[in-house]
Amino acid sequence: MIPPCSTSALRTLSPLLLCLAFGAYTNYPQADQLNGPPGTTSTTRVISGEQLPAPDMPFGGTITEIAQSSTPYWPATIVPPKGAPNVLLIITDDAGYGVSSTFGGVIPTPTMDRIAANGLRYTQFNSTALCSPTRAALITGRNHHSVGFGTISETATGYPGYNSIIEKNTSTIGRILQDNGYHTSWFGKDHNTPAFQASQAGPFGQWPTGMGFEYFYGFIGGDTNQWQPNLFRNTTQIYPFEGKPGWNLTTAMADDAIDYMQRMNALTPDRPFFVYYAPGGTHAPHHATQEWIKKISDMHLFDGGWNQLRETIFANQKQLGVIPPDTKLTPWPSDLLPAWGSLNADQKKLYIRQVEVFAAYEAYTDHEIGRVIQTIEDMGKLDNTLIVYITGDNGTSSEGQMLGTPNEVAMFNGVQIPVELQLKKYYDAWGTDQTYNHMAAGWAWAFDAPFTWVKQIASHLGGVRQGMAISWPARITDKGGIRTQFHHVIDIVPTILEATGISAPNTVNGIAQKPIEGNSLFYSFDKGNAQAPSAHKTQYFEMLGDHALYHDGWMASTKVVRPPWNMTAKASDPMQMQWELYNLNEDYSQSTDLALQNPEKLKQLQAMFMDEARNYQVLPLDTSVLPRMIAPRPSITAGRNIFTWEHPLTGTPNGDAPSVLNTSYTYTAEMEVGDNGAEGMLITQGGRFAGYGFYLVKSKPVFLWNLIDLERVRWAGADALTPGKHVLEFDFKYDGLGAATLAFNSFSGVGLGGMGTLKVDGKVVDQHKMEHSLPFTLAWDESLDIGSDSLTGVNDADYLPPFTFTGKLNKITLKIDRPELSQADIEKLKQAQQAIESGKE
């Protein structure tokens, strides 16, 4: 038995040297390696990484009564293994396989082309079909349900696979690399912080800085206005766009990442970095600069329409070799989407404008990514930097619905804006801060060529197949090579770990970790393995009830029952869905259904799906969408019906703000007007694209509802308030049964109108009915503000932000009176639900 390092007979020697000699570090893994003279200020250590954070090293010096006869000792600095590369992990948003020029698209993406030419292109790389689920899988190396992200946080439900909580036993790649000595940073889209934990009350454990990223510059939710974003540096909201016309987050984010990398390089040039770079492009709103819009418009890429675009992309893909030569172009879904030739001139004009702005946003985003990569090259670090560039976190989005929309909030409230109105009111403003724009669904289908379907659809490749390019000049020598192995976003973390020589930890902060579920694709870097069998043999897919199972080249897929642009479709029974079967080894585009020819194979894969579903927290399956959106969640407002604010406060996000949709409510504002009058915001939630505000204009009270920028319902007092104390009240009596009806698969109780009454000191000054209201959501990237209005305002004609209140605000109270269902109501709704399920309605 090795004696402990403190044995008295050995005290004349350095305890650290003895521990090294005998391999007897107390509580310290054997695999640790010291670099440099032990105990000096320049000593570094490479840890085994099995336990994170690594245990502190024992003091290796000597201590006597006086310093002159004592020996100092400094703990070694943790560093990654020698030669470990820098890592730049890039993922863009809502862009399918045929968007980038790298994978056959017509939109120029020279930065991704550069990465592919200097490295490899992967032609069978897959996502989860939706934003934050893909991202949760990407940063943890585990399936999205395994880390609570079966869907986005805004539709989270109280089941382990769907609660949007990345638990402590599934630490991120940021945490692993940080504790192994990397600089770690996250730029752009988060969307992995629960929507009900996004306020300044925290908790912050699932913000980027709580998940192992030392620095964060970006936005928390699924998307944001790129002109006036809901932007954070670490956990502090910032407003760098104020007073800067033309400022855009796409450029500002690249600027911040460049500044960060340059600072880290100046301070610690030998320490590698991990940069997770996730721009908002090309998720709606498609906010490109006018310079980029003009560049793309002048190219006339889309004049032939979406059917011709599909044919062009398909031909390009064959020429580039990113699809097999015998691939079939799947047919256009004429029963779902109109052919381009059937459209009239106004439709074509509008839709071309929509897609040109989308394409400009894609090209603009790629350009700014190029600036970040150029900075790495200018620092002399490109050769030993592993760059992973993934186009999109799911297929191209069809959430603009059939006509496209100038306001995506309208889509999520079930409203389509007519082509005539879009042309008249929004055409010239498309892509500016006056729109929250999205293109028509036909373009989304085209950009996912050669496959069928789009974002949200997990069972078909149009929803999950992404283009990916990887470069690492010091390691990947098959420059311009193509890799056809099947892989998934859960494979990126194990790839990074193998590339850096860092082990997945067994414990983090004393918590045992779930195993990494992905398979490294590091083997495919070698030219000799270009045709090697895929290491990833089996993968389930599930999103919003739609599901599939891939195994060794075969894919069993449920038949799509809800086009994703139909957000108000009734939920169906996921266990009664029809299935299809595809042999992807021979049918790359998933074009030929073999279910009838091979029922035994289908049965095998169906059984495998259920096994995977049980293993990875996929159950219970749920095909509902909007009912999930407004389902109760454990926010700081849960269970409360009375709210009081006595001080100005900005930035409370939707997920943590009290909801006044589909209910009766009363706002009471106790305030004082000075001798010179007062104006400004009392309380507001939302902004230019949907929301409400209670405010004073030239001392006159106003309560206003902005109904998705199509209608503004306004209650106002005719007389200015006199100097002194006043009590303002807005009372709204809702007409319907409220959101509770959604539990019965019925939308009859939501989005109805009600009577609004504005009072000043108990006297009615305005009263009239609002004929309808918003059923499902306000503008999600705006916030609830007290005493001023951050980001955009609800009515530009009355004020512009920040519109700080100039009087004295003493107290604001909100009382919510939610409709309760009587037993008769419940029975009626049950009968309606049964009728739907039996096919009578």
219, 228, 233, 790, 803 from 238: Cα distances, Å: 10, 11, 7, 10, 17
Q: With 80 as the cut, is the pLDDT of residue 514 above it?
A: yes
Among the listed residues 573, 613, 547, 635, the one whose alpha carbon sits nearest the alpha carbon of residue 163: 635
Block residue for tokens 């804006």: 417
Query: Distance between CA atoms of 335 and 328, rounded to whole angstroms?
Result: 20
Contact present, 376 and 382 (Cβ < 8 Å):
yes
Query: Distance between CA atoms of 417 and 437, rounded to whole angstroms?
Result: 11
Tokens representing 119 are 């490295």
Instruction: Give the dihedral of Cα atoms 526, 531, 535, 536; nearest 10 deg.
Output: 120
User: CB within 8 A of 242, min separation 6: which ones?
Assistant: none
| pLDDT value of residue 7 | 30
Beta pairing class for 724-734 and 642-645: unpaired
Question: What is the mean pLDDT of the segment spanning 641-646?
Answer: 96
User: CB within 8 A of 2, min separation 6: which ones?
Assistant: 22, 23, 24
The conformation of residue 424, written as its DSSP 8-state character, comes to I
Contact present, 653 and 190 (Cβ < 8 Å):
no
| pLDDT value of residue 837 | 55
Q: Which residues pair with 693 in a beta bridge?
A: 684, 704
Contact present, 609 and 579 (Cβ < 8 Å):
no
Instruction: Fill in the amino acid letter for 239.
Output: Y
Q: With 80 as the cut, is the pLDDT of residue 764 above it?
A: yes
The conformation of residue 208, written as its DSSP 8-state character, comes to G
Contact present, 156 and 544 (Cβ < 8 Å):
no
Domains and CATH numbers, the chain: 1-60 (no CATH), 86-533 (3.40.720.10), 642-824 (2.60.120.200)
Read off the pTM. Answer: 0.93
C-alpha count within 13 angstroms, C-beta hemisphere, residue 268: 13
Q: Which residues pair with 756 in a beta bridge?
A: 732, 768
The conformation of residue 423, written as its DSSP 8-state character, comes to I
Confidence class of residue 728 from pLDDT cuts 50, 70 and 90?
very high
Question: What is the mean pLDDT of the segment spanning 117-138?
Answer: 98
Q: With 60 as the cut, is the pLDDT of residue 763 above it?
A: yes
| pLDDT value of residue 18 | 31
Contact present, 329 and 314 (Cβ < 8 Å):
yes
Query: Distance between CA atoms of 525 and 499, rounded to whole angstroms?
Result: 10
- Estimate to the nearest angstrom the gap between the alpha carbon of 264 and the chain centroid: 27
Query: Distance between CA atoms of 254 and 369, rounded to whole angstroms?
Result: 7
Tokens representing 184 are 């770690």
Torsion sign over Cα 381, 382, 384, 390: positive
Kindly report, residue by residue over 784-801, the tens digit of the pLDDT. Answer: 999 999 999 999 999 999
| pLDDT value of residue 341 | 97
Per cent of the chain over pLDDT 90 is 86
Contact present, 787 and 682 (Cβ < 8 Å):
yes
Among the listed residues 103, 109, 91, 565, the one whose alpha carbon sits nearest the alpha carbon of residue 361: 109
User: CB within 8 A of 776, min separation 6: which ones?
Assistant: 412, 413, 414, 626, 629, 630, 661, 750, 751
Query: Distance between CA atoms of 526 and 120, rounded to whole angstroms?
Result: 10
Tokens representing 212 are 């192992």
| Overall residue count recorded for the chain in this entry | 841
Kindly report, residue by residue over 524-535, the tens digit of the pLDDT. Answer: 999 999 999 999
Q: With 70 as the cut, is the pLDDT of residue 839 above it?
A: no
Query: Distance between CA atoms of 667 and 729, rounded to whole angstroms?
Result: 6
| pLDDT value of residue 387 | 98
Block residue for tokens 């301070």: 267
Per cent of the chain over pLDDT 70 is 94
Kindly report, residue by residue over 172-222, the tens digit of the pLDDT. Answer: 999 999 999 999 999 999 999 999 999 999 999 999 999 999 999 999 999
Query: Distance between CA atoms of 136 and 731, rounded to whole angstroms?
Result: 42
Query: Distance between CA atoms of 145 and 163, rounded to whole angstroms?
Result: 9
Question: How wide is the angle at C-alpha 566 spanned by C-alphas 563 and 568, nearest 5°?
Answer: 135
- Furthest-apart CA pair in the chain: how many Å? 95
Query: Distance between CA atoms of 686 and 694, rounded to whole angstroms?
Result: 12
Contact present, 735 and 752 (Cβ < 8 Å):
yes
Query: Distance between CA atoms of 147 and 162, rounded to whole angstroms?
Result: 8
